Structure 1
Amino acid sequence: MPALPNRLTSADVYRGFVMLLMMGEVLRFHKVAEALPDSTFWAFLAHHQDHVEWIGCSLHDLIQPSFSFLVGVVLPYSISSRLTQESSFSKVFIHALKRSLILILLGVFLRSQNKVQTYFTFEDTLSQIGLGYPILFLLGFRSQKIQISALIIILVGYWLAFALYPLPDINFDYVNAGVTKDWEHNLTGFAAHWNKNTNLAWAFDRWFLNLFPREKPFLFNGGGYATLSFMPTLGTMILGLLAGNILKSTTIPTKKIKTFVILGISGLAIGLALNWLGICPNVKRIWTPTWVLFSGGWCFLFIAFFYWIVDVKQKEDKFYFLKVIGMNSIAAYCIADALGSYISKSLKIHLGENYGAIFGDPYQSLVHGGLMLLIYWLLLRWMFNKKLFIRI
């Protein structure tokens, strides 16, 4: 039997697809949709390039779970590679702790841009992964039974913690929570335990984030995002770990794909059922247990598709564009986050404020964003050709 690959190309391509969705925010489909209000096509694209307000899912909402899921997918390969370089488990684990700390600090650094001081919050993708990574790493050395048990404990425990947290009373200060009592997306009944900025995770951040130096006291996150979401995010990474173990096994490819499809459909079905029954709403912004299962279902279907077409059908050459991005995902993240505004301003300085109107006023943002996206990719391709990869 041939040796198993040390690198999973389909994971690189899937990651490239995910990062392209993130970098593609510069296309600003919503601007085109606003300029062409009668176009259902642009309205559809705009919807899927933005997060839903609370319950539900758009394509854009699947970026962070996919990125987190892929951390788990590649972990078995990473552990195998690292153990061939290090002589002891302790050294490998210390490396994992360093990686975790770097991810957390990089997230804080990127969010602190244009701030008067370091902006300590931990709800972004990098920090969320960093907070849960040491636990994921340790689970990577345990049996599938223990990994699944850990997943169940995390999901049930997190659900129970929210369910037991008291609902707002009549004296609750909605103004200082950044919401209104009659917000259209507020849930009623038992599901109200997962309402925006009135839940357990919001209460935790009101205490935890004010332990750090701040320009002004932390009261709420405008989007409802929370630090404690790293726990269910860890659940998403465990789903990826289970997928990675399957991919690294000697099971025949068709059986792997079949397993992923079954798990994917099951995750979607269970997630929809839990939301519909009112047991736990499907909310990405606070990463409810239902969201872990629902978004995880999509992730299993995505990895099934990319594994089939890239690794099984060996169509890797068709996805060169995505591979360039996916093999340098941290660089892509930093380029888009740290250099995006600089590149945007430079283009307008040298090409003129309205150069994007070459195809008509409604498409200004699309042309400008498209050129920015091209520059991002060319930078990544240069790094790819020079074999310059940012590894953490």
Structure 2
Amino acid sequence: MAATTNQADDFQQTPTRLHSLDALRGFDMVWIMGLEPVVKELAKATHWPFLEAMAIQLDHPAWNGFHLYDLIFPLFLFMAGVSTPFSVGRALEKGTSRNKLLLRVIKRGLILVAFGIIYNNGLNLKPIAEIRFASVLGRIGLAYMFANIIYLYAAEKWQIFWFWFFIIAYWLILKFASAPGFAAGDLTMAGNFASYVDRCLLPGKLYLGIHDPEGLFSTIPAISTGILGILTGITLKKTGLSQMKKVTRMAVAGIIFLVLAQIWNLDFPINKNLWTSSFVLNVGGLSLLLMALFYYIIDVLGYVKWAFFFQVIGMNSILIYMSKRFIDWNYTNSAFFNWLFQLVGGPYNLVVMAVTYLLIKWIFLYIMYQKKIFLRV
């Protein structure tokens, strides 16, 4: 049953924690935690057109274009921004100095960079030339750090300015510059300016040899993704707005961003590898719509219990992401359920294997949740 509310309840005190944010974070993480192979194996086993179409959406395009799988990474960064007014902002309200919070933000960003390097390379000693320094967590750490620094020292109107400044400046640079030997505005993997800068500045190896999708230069527009999350969090934290107005603002802004993304796509293609400005608007629009949907269902209507599965994941998202490097989940899955895979037989044994793989990870997180053990950065 949904919690009942009256009109006065619509203007509630600032919440200390958004249940919808934890649920959305869990919904985002569940795809890379193990739901993706469930859908793909089901598609192979059934050949249902809908599932086959979904399976295509769960792979990244080779270069330009957009699949729903491209949303997972930027949505997580967006949500890191949403949490800022509820964490850093609350600390400011309690009197913590900006300089102290600045150090905390920088520390958190650098820890995420370090976690990213460990995720890529393990705890192994390697020559620098064999180490991949760029990473998903590294980009989240750097973009989060710079977006939070802007939040600490800039008013809301200036945060909006910086959001547009980064993506417009990035567009102009890639439009009028290129790698040596290529025409200005070249956006191929070899010819674009962002990849060229990474080849010059990033130590170690790049993920694709001449390009890294989590490279240094393309982190610039990713800062805007973090800022958009912060601006969304500011809206959600405002006590003078009704909950429905917050939902409406997020939904309308999301639709506008999606339209602008398609217009910008005509000149600056939507491309996750380069984190293009049109990509920022596209994933920003989808993130806003998802945030509006989850906030409306969970925090406005009060339907909370259904999201418990996702909340358990969302409360320990970094832990389950990093666990891949330290826990052999395939071995654990086989050890517990190999008998079941044999009973089921092909082709559905692979579907069951994917389901139990996800289940084991969730049970691990549920035990952590019950014992109140959370990996905080």
TM over 0.5: yes
Aligned to 2:3: none
The answer to whether 1:338 aligns with 2:328 is no
RMSD: 2.7
Worse-superposed segment, 78-87 or 297-306: 78-87
Contact 1:120–1:209 (8 Å) recurs in 2: no
Contact 1:27–1:369 (8 Å) recurs in 2: yes
Aligned to 1:389: 374
The answer to whether 1:263 aligns with 2:273 is no
Check 1:149–1:242 CA distance in 2 against 1; reply closer, same or farther (3 A cut). Answer: same
Between the aligned partners of 2:71 and 2:376, the Cα distance in structure 1 is 23
Between the aligned partners of 2:263 and 2:199, the Cα distance in structure 1 is 32
| Residue from 226, 229, 248 that aligns with 1:240 | 229
Aligned to 2:282: 294
Check 1:300–1:217 CA distance in 2 against 1; reply closer, same or farther (3 A cut). Answer: closer
Aligned residue identity for 1:239: L
Contact 1:123–1:229 (8 Å) recurs in 2: no
What count of residue pairs does the alignment treat as equivalent?
A: 363
Check 1:31–1:381 CA distance in 2 against 1; reply closer, same or farther (3 A cut). Answer: closer
Q: CA deviation at 1:240?
A: 0.7
Aligned residue identity for 1:283: N
Between the aligned partners of 1:355 and 1:196, the Cα distance in structure 2 is 45
Q: CA deviation at 1:81?
A: 3.5
Between the aligned partners of 1:248 and 1:261, the Cα distance in structure 2 is 16
Aligned to 2:220: 231
Structure 2 unaligned regions, length at least 5: 1-10
Between the aligned partners of 1:347 and 1:382, the Cα distance in structure 2 is 17
Between the aligned partners of 1:346 and 1:10, the Cα distance in structure 2 is 31
Contact 1:274–1:281 (8 Å) recurs in 2: yes
Check 1:387–1:85 CA distance in 2 against 1; reply closer, same or farther (3 A cut). Answer: farther
Aligned residue identity for 1:248: K
Contact 2:132–2:207 (8 Å) recurs in 1: no
Aligned to 1:185: none
Write the mapping of 1:158-169 to structure 2, written as runs, cut at 5 A: 158-166=170-178, 169=181
Between the aligned partners of 2:332 and 2:96, the Cα distance in structure 1 is 49
Q: CA deviation at 1:83?
A: 3.6
Between the aligned partners of 2:45 and 2:312, the Cα distance in structure 1 is 33
Contact 2:105–2:145 (8 Å) recurs in 1: yes
Q: CA deviation at 1:131?
A: 1.3
**TM-score normalized with structure 1 length:** 0.84
Aligned residue identity for 2:220: M
Between the aligned partners of 1:300 and 1:73, the Cα distance in structure 2 is 10
The answer to whether 1:157 aligns with 2:142 is no
| Residue from 132, 137, 156 that aligns with 2:143 | 132
The answer to whether 1:67 aligns with 2:70 is no
Worse-superposed segment, 83-92 or 19-28: 83-92
Aligned to 2:24: 14
Between the aligned partners of 2:347 and 2:210, the Cα distance in structure 1 is 35
Between the aligned partners of 1:357 and 1:306, the Cα distance in structure 2 is 39
Write the mapping of 1:143-222 to structure 2, written as runs, cut at 5 A: 143-166=155-178, 169=181, 193-210=186-203, 212=204, 219-221=209-211
Contact 1:356–1:366 (8 Å) recurs in 2: no
Contact 1:357–1:363 (8 Å) recurs in 2: no
Between the aligned partners of 1:301 and 1:218, the Cα distance in structure 2 is 32
Aligned to 2:56: 47
CA offsets 1:19-38 (integer angstroms, 9 cap, x no match): 111212562544554566x5
Aligned to 1:280: 268
Check 1:15–1:350 CA distance in 2 against 1; reply closer, same or farther (3 A cut). Answer: closer
Contact 2:214–2:273 (8 Å) recurs in 1: yes
Aligned residue identity for 1:199: N
Between the aligned partners of 2:42 and 2:374, the Cα distance in structure 1 is 35
CA offsets 1:138-167 (integer angstroms, 9 cap, x no match): 222321210011111101111111112236
Between the aligned partners of 2:207 and 2:280, the Cα distance in structure 1 is 31
Between the aligned partners of 2:93 and 2:374, the Cα distance in structure 1 is 20
Check 1:365–1:205 CA distance in 2 against 1; reply closer, same or farther (3 A cut). Answer: farther
Contact 1:264–1:297 (8 Å) recurs in 2: yes
Provide the secondary structure at the position in 1 that maps to 2:202. Answer: helix
The answer to whether 1:369 aligns with 2:354 is yes
Contact 1:121–1:209 (8 Å) recurs in 2: no
Aligned to 1:326: 314
